[in-house]
Structure 1
Amino acid sequence: MTITRRNLLTAAGASTLAAILPSTAHARRDGVIELNAGPSRQRLYGADGPLSDLWTFNGRAPGPEIRVKRGERVRVRLTNNLEEPTSVHWHGMRVDNAMDGVAGLTQEPVPPGDTFDYEFVAPDAGTYWYHAHSRSWNQVARGLYGPLIVDEANGPVFDPARDLTLVIDDWRLTRAGAFDVASLGAMMDWSHAGRLGNWLTVNGEATPQMTLRAGEAHRLRLINASNARILEIDPNRFGGKVLAHDGQALPAPASVNYAPLMIGPAQRVDLLVMPEPGGDFALEELSGDAPFAFARFTVEGEASARAPVPRLPAPDLPEPDLSGARTIGVEMTGGAMGRMGRVTYNGKVLRRGDFRRTGQVWAFNGVANLPEQPLAAIRRGESVIIETVNDTAFVHAMHVHGHHFRVIERSGTDLDDGRPWRDTFLIGPQQTVRIAFVADNPGKWLYHCHMLEHAAAGMNTWFEVA
């Protein structure tokens, strides 16, 4: 069964800004990267639009690009200047469990006015991101996220001038063009497709214009920071090929033969682009009635010969043993137009009026939100298959913390897409998806829907690697 297409944004705009991300170079003090979470004001609806009241890291959304090398020890000090507790999750990073940043599972949330020091070794090169993981449906929607890029141990494979990070977000704006704070937490979003915006930005700017060099190999790192929107693009329109999914490199650049390419919330895709002279193009969102350009590229220069394509190192991840793997089942229920059945929340069975009162309208295996007991207790080094059955009317983006996996089967079909490594996968209505990985990272790890409203409304569980 194919995943349903989404509606296009209702508005469009343009910006002549280059949408270059600030780096953490200026935010380092004695080797520590400083991230300050707090309120700030930013224009989203073009250069002449009204100021929006956001919550951001270091005063801007996205927050500064953290760029480190593989194997480097990363030290980050979070200072919370918000009105509520927060934490930071390093999405896609196989960090020590105590540094994973999940408030209520791996750490207590950081109170207002307090600080927390994160320290971990960057284990894998690739494209990752960081975001708030306390009341994420609220804090990420307001702008608390940023890119995390891990270069190869010997330095960047691509010329840094040809290596572009694009953090894509959809915002829900009012008719005046300001961020719609009042609509946060709407039960319609929680019980349906999640919070979908009506305005796309790239690195905080609307329809930025960027410049590429003809004949040169460029790496475009696409990060979907939306709460719930699935982006649909077609790299074939501009000769692009896929270099990596969710930070993990493919064996070789691959053409997309299943267009449109869907990028779910929290997913990342690295594209190889080698434009011809005069080959200006745009990144277009394709889920609506007509293509919507959300980033434009001007190609400059005359290329006498095409430059060689840099080769990315293969991922260094353990292969699961499918013949001896243990299977863990997850049944997803609930939501509008879905079957709920018997649901337990905080140890109590929910009755009719309890669903709206608690906001818990989704469940995994009949339990809404984090259960006291783990989904499974797994031996360290054990190969695991998680079989997820989506018995709901909506698409979900499922994320595994602390591990990367291969999608080995979708609704009875053995996949022939090379089974790329991922940390987040999409599952359509009435689909069954099987993923496999080696549980080699000890600790308590979250398994949840990254449609953030769905997670808040019940789609959270956890497993323990002992």
Structure 2
Amino acid sequence: MDVSRREFLKLSTAIAGAMVLPACTLNTARQTQDGYYYELTAEPATAELVPGYQTDVLGFSGQIPAPTIRCRQGEKVTIRFTNKLNEPTTIHWHGLRIPIEMDGVPFLSQPPIMPGETFVYEFTPPDAGTFWYHPHMNSVVQLGMGLVGAIVVEEAEPVQFDAEQVMLLKHWHLDEQGRWKQLMVPRLSARMGTPGEWGTVNGKHEPTYELPQHAMTRLRLANVDNTITYPIAVEGIQAWIVAIDGNPVREPMKLEQHKIGPGMRLDLAVEAPAAGQAFQVVQMKGRFAFPMATFRSVGSDLVPGKLIPSIPLNPIPAPDLANAEVRHFVFEWEGAVTPASANGKTVPKFWLMNKRAWEGMSKANIPAPLASLEQGKTYIFDLKNVTQYHHPIHLHGHTFTVLEMDGKPVEPFHTDTVLLGKNGHAKAAFVADNPGRWMYHCHVIEHMKTGLMGYIEVA
């Protein structure tokens, strides 16, 4: 259960000193004079994903869906994280421009958090929006079995919607009795990835939510799937895009259909219909719509005709395009299986970034970066996908300003993950203002696992 946006705003403004959020949100969650404080674990648990059956899962604080962490732009948040798994893990805060020490990539930014150990993440988010969190170790298994959650950063000056719903979109690799199937099939890893078969929103198959009639509602969608790209549409009501990947757009845009690849987010504004009426968020497959969640309106004293609240833009540094340096990145297929490793297991490598497959790393072996960038300088990344499969390309610690998609100029927009379709091409600029070694990879987890990953160094 999440704290609603209205409840969060009410609690945040009513008590300036300390406050206690509902216990169902996290083990411990409170606001203090030093910012927001949470306690979080990763641990084995069970969940009823397929109705009538229990499935062994991995859950943040043992929960599916994971607790939604809420904090505020420009205010410190502290997450005291304890690893209760039987293997090492970390947490990466996807989309947040935070110091490298808090980025959650093992060896590159922090030591792995061993079983039983606690690590304290502390950062002050400069941007408001919809983000998410997940491990960056044994990612196929840890994400695939449930270690995914939302982090919502409220605007520094409250933006007043009447209602809100966080929606974590995920397909699980389960059969009809909730038993696990293979999370990764190598021959599929060399294509689009291994898709799950049981679709859920917040761990429920086709859930129904209630909204007050005429409530101006913010829907925060996050694709936390290992593999699947969701073409999102809304049926039964007009929806408006108000933010892409955590970053507000300058003017709301009518939603027709919008693709969100793994790791990507989409914020929509809708005015709930009159009591008794409903609308659906759907996934498009060609011309056919498949329901993901239904929203039904119930009686309230709200009246129709509200304007969509204005959401301030995030303080993304403006790129100096006149003096930008262009760096080229080509994402392609290698199509090979490496020889067996020392323990006799084959290690598949299918994908290349600039003719390099990610070779892995350890404390004593950090590979060379894909690119070394000068701190404070503007760069344009020219991204080319020369394969027939989609690649959502994610850069840690920075936010892109997308300039072109598939050879055509676009109204510039901000994102941390650029979705390249079949033979797709994009140009994205950013100011390399955050020093560190930043992971840079495809967010189809199997593509990342089998070669499509590296890092850039900013110094």
- What is the TM-score with the length of structure 1 in the denominator? 0.86
Report what 1:9 is aligned to.
none
Could you say if the C-alpha distance between residues 199 and 18 of structure 1 is closer, same or farther in structure 2, counting changes exceeding 3 Å? Answer: farther
Shift of 1:335: 5.6
Q: Does the aligned pair in 2 maintain the 1:22–1:65 contact within 8 Å? A: no
Report what 2:141 is aligned to.
138
Could you say if the C-alpha distance between residues 207 and 236 of structure 1 is closer, same or farther in structure 2, counting changes exceeding 3 Å? Answer: closer
Q: Distance in 2 between matches of 1:52 and 1:305?
A: 43
Q: Distance in 1 between matches of 2:333 and 2:263?
A: 22
1:129 aligns with 2:122: no
Equivalences for residues 199-214 of structure 1 within 5 A? 199-214=198-213
Equivalences for residues 358-373 of structure 1 within 5 A? 358-369=347-358, 372-373=367-368
Q: Distance in 2 between matches of 1:372 and 1:165?
A: 38
Q: Distance in 2 between matches of 1:80 and 1:45?
A: 27
1:376 aligns with 2:408: no
Q: Distance in 2 between matches of 1:23 and 1:70?
A: 23
Report what 2:297 is aligned to.
299
Q: Distance in 2 between matches of 1:168 and 1:459?
A: 23
Could you say if the C-alpha distance between residues 24 and 245 of structure 1 is closer, same or farther in structure 2, counting changes exceeding 3 Å? Answer: same
Q: Percent identity?
A: 35
The alignment partner of 1:207 has SS state of: coil
Q: Does the aligned pair in 2 maintain the 1:216–1:306 contact within 8 Å? A: no
* Paired residue type of 1:402: G
Shift of 1:280: 0.9
* Paired residue type of 2:429: A
Mind listing any 5+ residue stretches in structure 2 that lack a counterpart?
A: 5-21, 360-365
Report what 1:409 is aligned to.
404
Shift of 1:25: 5.3
Alpha-carbon displacement from aligned partner over 1:411-433 (angstroms, at most 9, x marks no partner): 32112xx2221111110122221
Q: Distance in 1 between matches of 2:135 and 2:259?
A: 24
1:86 aligns with 2:89: yes
Q: Does the aligned pair in 2 maintain the 1:23–1:65 contact within 8 Å? A: no
Q: Out of 424, 435, 438, which is 2:428 matched to?
A: 435
Q: Does the aligned pair in 1 maintain the 2:171–2:198 contact within 8 Å? A: yes
Report what 2:29 is aligned to.
28
Of 395-404 and 357-366, the range deviating more from structure 2: 357-366
Report what 2:54 is aligned to.
51
Give the number of the structure with larger relative contact order, counting CA–CA contacts within 8 Å between residues 6 or more apart. 1
What number of residue pairs does the alignment pair up? 427
Q: Distance in 2 between matches of 1:56 and 1:192?
A: 28
Report what 1:12 is aligned to.
none
Equivalences for residues 24-173 of structure 1 within 5 A? 24=25, 26-28=27-29, 32-46=37-51, 48=52, 50-159=53-162, 162-173=163-174
The alignment partner of 1:291 has SS state of: strand
Q: Distance in 2 between matches of 1:288 and 1:255?
A: 20
1:464 aligns with 2:453: no
The Cα RMSD (Å) is 2.4
* Paired residue type of 2:171: D
Equivalences for residues 319-398 of structure 1 within 5 A? 319-334=318-333, 357-369=346-358, 372-398=367-393
Of 370-379 and 292-301, the range deviating more from structure 2: 370-379
Q: Distance in 1 between matches of 2:109 and 2:449?
A: 17
* Paired residue type of 2:437: K
Report what 1:255 is aligned to.
254
Could you say if the C-alpha distance between residues 289 and 409 of structure 1 is closer, same or farther in structure 2, counting changes exceeding 3 Å? Answer: closer
Alpha-carbon displacement from aligned partner over 1:273-322 (angstroms, at most 9, x marks no partner): 01331441111111166321110111223764423432111221111122
The alignment partner of 1:133 has SS state of: coil
- What is the TM-score with the length of structure 2 in the denominator? 0.87
Q: Out of 270, 281, 284, which is 1:283 matched to?
A: 281
Shift of 1:78: 1.5
Q: Does the aligned pair in 2 maintain the 1:80–1:112 contact within 8 Å? A: yes
Shift of 1:377: 1.5
Shift of 1:45: 0.9
Alpha-carbon displacement from aligned partner over 1:336-394 (angstroms, at most 9, x marks no partner): 6xxx7xxxxxxxxx87889x932111111111115722122111111111112112221
Could you say if the C-alpha distance between residues 145 and 382 of structure 1 is closer, same or farther in structure 2, counting changes exceeding 3 Å? Answer: same
Q: Distance in 1 between matches of 2:456 and 2:69?
A: 29
Mind listing any 5+ residue stretches in structure 1 that lack a counterpart?
A: 1-16, 341-349
Could you say if the C-alpha distance between residues 289 and 51 of structure 1 is closer, same or farther in structure 2, counting changes exceeding 3 Å? Answer: farther
Shift of 1:399: 0.4
Q: Distance in 1 between matches of 2:354 and 2:423?
A: 15
The alignment partner of 1:123 has SS state of: coil
Could you say if the C-alpha distance between residues 22 and 228 of structure 1 is closer, same or farther in structure 2, counting changes exceeding 3 Å? Answer: farther
Could you say if the C-alpha distance between residues 174 and 252 of structure 1 is closer, same or farther in structure 2, counting changes exceeding 3 Å? Answer: same
Could you say if the C-alpha distance between residues 328 and 58 of structure 1 is closer, same or farther in structure 2, counting changes exceeding 3 Å? Answer: same
Shift of 1:193: 0.9
Q: Distance in 2 between matches of 1:19 and 1:316?
A: 26
Q: Does the aligned pair in 1 maintain the 2:66–2:148 contact within 8 Å? A: yes
